[in-house]
Amino acid sequence: MTLRIIALSLLVFLISCKKEKLDFDMVDDIRLSPEVELALVNAYLNLEDIAIEDSLVVVDPDKAIRLKYRDDSLFSFYPIDFVDIPNQDTIDFKLFPLLPGADIEVSLGTIADIELFEAVFDKGLLHFMLSAAAPYLTDVDVEVILKNATNNGSPVAYTVTLPAGQVSVSESFPIEGLTFDCTNNGQDVNYIGFSAQVLDGDSVSPNTQGLNLGITFTDLKIRNTTGYFGARSINIPDGDFDFDISAFSDFNDGFLLTNPTISLLISNEVGIDLAFNSDFDGVNNDGVLTALNANSQSVTGPMVLGNEVSSVLTFNKSNSDIVDFIGAMPNKIFYSGDVSLNDGQTRTENFIDKESQVVVGIDVDLPLELQIESLRMVEEIDNIDFITENPDEIDEVELIFYTENGFPIDLNVQVSLLDDVTGDSINGFDLKVLTAAPVNPNTGRVTQWVHSKESIVFTDLLIDDLSRASTIRLKAKLSTVNGGSQFVKLYTDYGVNIKIAAKAKLNLKLED
Amino acid sequence: MKKVLLLVASAFSLVGIGQSNMLLYNFDAVAQSLHVNPSLQQQSKVWVGLPGISGISLDYQNSGFSLLDIFEEGTDINDNIRKTLGEMDDASGLFLNSTIDLLGIGFKAGKGYFSLGAQQSIDLKMKWPTQLLTFAYEGNAIPRNRVMSLESYNAEFNIRTNYYLGYQRAIGEKWRVGGRLKYIIGQGHGYVDRMNGRITTTSVSDLVIDTDILIRSSGVANTEDDIEVMDLVFSDNRGFGVDLGATYTVNQRLSFSVSALDIGSINWESDNREYSSKGTFTFDGVDADLADDDPIKDFDDLVDSLEAAFDFSESVGVGYKRSLPSHYYVSGNFHLNEKHSLGALYHLRTWDGDAFHDIGFNYVGKLARGFQATVGYSLINGDASNVGVGLSTKLGPMQFYVMSDNVLGAVNYASLQTTNVRLGLNIAIYEPKEKKMERKKAKAAKKLGKKQNKKTNKSESNKSKTPENEND
């Protein structure tokens, strides 16, 4: 009986227990909603890395950075640019066997009225054309003396023979190495004197018939000469060079280097003073042309033949528009202009030899000492496709920017989401990406890095708009410290670390 | 993921029917009670456990959550998960145990009782990585998850065969003591020696991951060759353990008992492996060198960095010694009469520096010689919903028993967090019944009386034949 009572009680007890129901289909409803915080990207930039990579960058011993473009031979002037003697006209005169010889004095024709005082020819021919109306019965010898020329100190004379039975003869003599005194003993310039006579005129038959003698200088090249090369101009050969500063190629405006210079490096072996009237025009990525507007500057030449005078003509912000010129960020620079010879009119005698040159190089020196008040850049990113799948799974995202900035630069970015159809801005936000590091006002050098934290919260609305937008427009505004009122210098130990982290409230559904 | 969850949930629900050691401790009808109470006087004078089926037990404890906590109909599962994670702590764990009595024999010898046999045991203990689960579910941006530590996580499994020899006897009228010596051969083991793992989210969103982890394992799990049965039975992983118990009988109605079980250790020497990691890795985003035309390099670099930083390694391990998972019982029993008694029981287990306390009250009723029962209520590791029942029935010498510390779990498995089941088939021969004894005694006495009467009558008749009688 007792056993029955116990068994019955136990049964009633078990049956009376509450049986809760389970619903395993609830698994479908599980949504993971973690709040995740994670660093995404740790971006860093060290100026030293850029400096090493860019061939235009030069680092000073104090780590200051400058951009430097140098070409030691941008263009040159050669002797022919200073002294050019064309082929001379033929000098004709008549000789008679029985009469005394003739003295002829002529002036050497030169380009641009160059006045030669003394000249040694490196090359050239002296042509003689001897002719008669009728053949002579005997050979006729004619002697021509160059009165103002010597050959290693000896007088220079030529004999031309008209053979019997011929009415003409032509003969040429090289004048290489002959020294001409073109001053006629200080009385003249470009002077050439001849004397000519028939030798043994008594034995010439018929000795009453006259001879025609023509003398011509051709192919004249100066070995060295003194003179006065004239107060005139010679053209600078047109040319151009690339000036691609890749690190700054995105900046087209508002970028002002405060102390740029362009220098012409002139090596002058010609005894002449020169004034450079150079024109430099830069063209940037947008095709905008900007002129340097450099003032004319002079250099002197050596006082002794064989010497060389090196000169530097510098164009800076006080004698040119170089600040604007560089500020336009040219990627190609064109040069032209002219050079004025003897512009100072202090020198009365010039000299040159066949090896003499004026070599002009260029040195573009851009110390990265700058002031930027408001440099603006605009970038549009098309066909964005950030969130096309399950935007509902992200409730909120906060992007956090941890910045350690060693640049004396403020950078603000205005982000606009543009409508797919209309192109209008449908949403957006501003972000202060960089806070300028403070600088020493005297040196422009950064005194300490700045740590900052900025964040932008992507709410549901912003995320929706982001998924709706097709284009993102980024307007960046960049300025140096204190709104650009303070000049700053860039050094290789500058850098920036930007860590972008995301804090996201997710709402994820378990996958089947 | 959904399938995995359902699989895990189903597996837990399968073990939600059964019987427990809280009831077994005082249930002297079943000789398997000696496993937990070596000094408990047995009803059987001879007991033989049928090989492989005399004692099968499964034990399940999940102090972290029940199915109902997660899947209760009509509730929001996300709220449930959040609430459950919030209520779990570093001590929340999953404990699974299974034993099979391979062989068992017990018999009375004089004033003592011998027992011997072999038992196969599989034991798994694992603390829930609560912080890691919370970290994964809530994310690292939550203030309390900015430092996620795995230091409280621990796990250990143990597969072993106990060969035991036990003896108990009465000492005087008040005391009964018992003990059992175990020779142990271990088949497999693994444990977490160090789990110093930590993920810290810094104030600048970096993740700093530190590891100092050492996991050791031994035995069959590490055997790459074909497993030979003899290698399992006679592996080189040997140990000893003892179970001790004592019962003090205050008077006819009141008694107390204590037992200390699995005092000993195993030396794990064969097929040892060590898995370790030690290092620190800071993830502060994918590096991007803005001076580079291709600022972000291959992600493989990141993986390589992780591997190098944590120095993961698997190596042949050295031998090690691990203590057995000891536990202790203290009980007081009030005997209403010879058939009915009430008991109170305290059970203490320790593992990984944590103590797990069970308290139970039970009733043992010898309702009939062939049918005995026990019922009880237990508070097991903080779970207060354990109502247990145990039954033993005998048909001749064949004894079948089944018990569970939480039969409610069989009905209401949804909220099950703790249960066990033990059942088996023995040959058990009890002491003869007292009435039978008395009848035998009476019968013997009657026989003896008849004999004496006959003797008396005979002597009296002989007396009558004496000359005196004859004279009368």
B373 and A44 in contact by Cβ < 8 A? Answer: no
Q: How many residues does chain A have?
A: 512
Looking at residue B169, what is its pLDDT?
94
Instruction: Report if residue A20 sits inside a domain.
Output: no
**Radius of gyration of the CA atoms of chain A, in A:** 44
CA separation for the pair B36, B22 (Å, rounded): 9
Mean pLDDT of B239-249: 97
Chain A (378-407) residues lying within 8 Å, Cβ to Cβ, of chain B = 400, 402
With beta carbons under 8 A apart, name residues in chain B contacting A400. 205
Check CB contact of A8 with chain B, cutoff 8 Å.
no
Check CB contact of A27 with chain B, cutoff 8 Å.
yes
Q: How confident is the model at residue B15 (pLDDT cuts 50, 70, 90)?
A: very low
For residue A15, the chain B residue with the least C-alpha distance is B411
Domain boundary among A228, A252, A267: A228
Tell me what percent of the residues of chain B surpass a pLDDT of 90: 56
- Burial class from Cβ neighbours inside 10 Å (0-12, 13-18, 19+) for residue A208 reads exposed
Looking at residue B418, what is its pLDDT?
85
With beta carbons under 8 A apart, name residues in chain A contacting B389. 10
CATH number at residue A208: 2.60.120.340
Instruction: Report if residue A7 sits inside a domain.
Output: no
With beta carbons under 8 A apart, name residues in chain B contacting A30. 2, 77-78, 81
Mean pLDDT of B256-283: 93
pLDDT lower than 50: segments of chain A: 1-4, 8, 12, 15-17, 512
Of B75, B288, B414, the CB nearest to A43: B288
Instruction: Report if residue A75 sits inside a domain.
Output: yes
Upper half-sphere CA count for residue B197 (Cβ side, 13 Å): 16
Query: Which of B214, B211, B61, B56 is CA-nearest to residue B128?
Result: B61
Looking at residue B224, what is its pLDDT?
64
Minimal C-alpha gap between A475 and chain B (Å)? 19
Looking at residue B440, what is its pLDDT?
63
Looking at residue B3, what is its pLDDT?
40
Domain boundary among A172, A194, A228: A228
Looking at residue B18, what is its pLDDT?
29
A211 shares its domain with A332: no
Looking at residue B218, what is its pLDDT?
92
The interface predicted TM-score of the complex, written ipTM, equals 0.72
A167 shares its domain with A264: no
For residue B80, the chain A residue with the least C-alpha distance is A30
A168 shares its domain with A130: yes
CB-based contact B72:B415 (threshold 8 Å): no
A-B C-beta contacts closer than 8 Å: 141
Digit-coded pLDDT (tens) for B415-432: 888 888 999 999 999 877
* Look-up of token digits 């919370």: B134
A90 shares its domain with A46: no
Looking at residue A410, what is its pLDDT?
92
With beta carbons under 8 A apart, name residues in chain B contacting A455. none
Chain B (419-458) residues lying within 8 Å, Cβ to Cβ, of chain A = none
Residue B253: pLDDT over 90: yes
Range of the domain at A418: 29-54+373-509
CB-based contact A283:A275 (threshold 8 Å): no
For residue A45, the chain B residue with the least C-alpha distance is B290
A122 shares its domain with A185: yes
Domain boundary among A367, A390, A412: A367
User: How many distinct structural domains can be found in chain A?
Assistant: 3
What are A189's strand-pairing partners?
A: none
Instruction: DSSP for A380-433, please give it.
Output: EE-S--S--S-GGGEEEEEEEEEEEE-SSEEEEEEEEEEPTTT--EEEEEEEEE
A333 shares its domain with A214: no
With beta carbons under 8 A apart, name residues in chain B contacting A2. 367
A139 shares its domain with A216: yes
Check CB contact of B291 with chain A, cutoff 8 Å.
yes
CB-based contact B257:B331 (threshold 8 Å): yes
Minimal C-alpha gap between B47 and chain A (Å)? 26
Of B74, B367, B414, the CB nearest to A2: B367
Check CB contact of A1 with chain B, cutoff 8 Å.
no
Q: How confident is the model at residue B466 (pLDDT cuts 50, 70, 90)?
A: very low
Check CB contact of B89 with chain A, cutoff 8 Å.
no
For residue A43, the chain B residue with the least C-alpha distance is B288
A224 shares its domain with A236: no
A200 shares its domain with A279: no
Looking at residue A6, what is its pLDDT?
52
CB-based contact A138:A164 (threshold 8 Å): yes
The three-state secondary structure class of B86 is helix
Neighbours of A279 (CB within 10 A): 15
Looking at residue B457, what is its pLDDT?
61
Instruction: Report if residue A2 sits inside a domain.
Output: no
Which of B71, B133, B201, B340 to mutate against chain A (most A CBs within 10 Å)? B71
Check CB contact of A38 with chain B, cutoff 8 Å.
yes
CATH number of B2-431: 2.40.160
Looking at residue B5, what is its pLDDT?
41
Query: Which of B322, B312, B82, B62 is CA-nearest to residue B197?
Result: B312
A276 shares its domain with A199: no
Looking at residue A10, what is its pLDDT?
53
Check CB contact of A45 with chain B, cutoff 8 Å.
yes
Q: Tokens for B377?
A: 């209520």
CB-based contact B402:B423 (threshold 8 Å): yes
Instruction: Report if residue A3 sits inside a domain.
Output: no
Chain B (133-162) residues lying within 8 Å, Cβ to Cβ, of chain A = 136-142
Q: Tokens for B40?
A: 């408990």
Mean pLDDT of B115-123: 94
Lowest mean pLDDT among A245-249, A255-259, B98-102, B446-450: A245-249
Domain ranges of chain B: 2-431
Check CB contact of B414 with chain A, cutoff 8 Å.
yes
Looking at residue B462, what is its pLDDT?
52
A35 and B139 in contact by Cβ < 8 A? Answer: yes
Q: How confident is the model at residue B160 (pLDDT cuts 50, 70, 90)?
A: very high
Looking at residue A302, what is its pLDDT?
93
* Look-up of token digits 């630069």: A409
Looking at residue A245, what is its pLDDT?
63
The three-state secondary structure class of B348 is strand
Looking at residue B243, what is its pLDDT?
96
Looking at residue B164, what is its pLDDT?
97
Q: Tokens for A506?
A: 């997710």
CA separation for the pair A169, A161 (Å, rounded): 7
A452 shares its domain with A487: yes
Looking at residue B470, what is its pLDDT?
37
A199 shares its domain with A319: no
Query: Which of A209, A224, A245 is CA-nearest to residue A57?
Result: A245
Instruction: Report if residue A495 sits inside a domain.
Output: yes
Looking at residue B467, what is its pLDDT?
41
* Look-up of token digits 């960046």: A476
Instruction: Report if residue A214 sits inside a domain.
Output: yes
A34 and B136 in contact by Cβ < 8 A? Answer: yes
Query: Which of A361, A174, A339 is CA-nearest to residue A263?
Result: A361
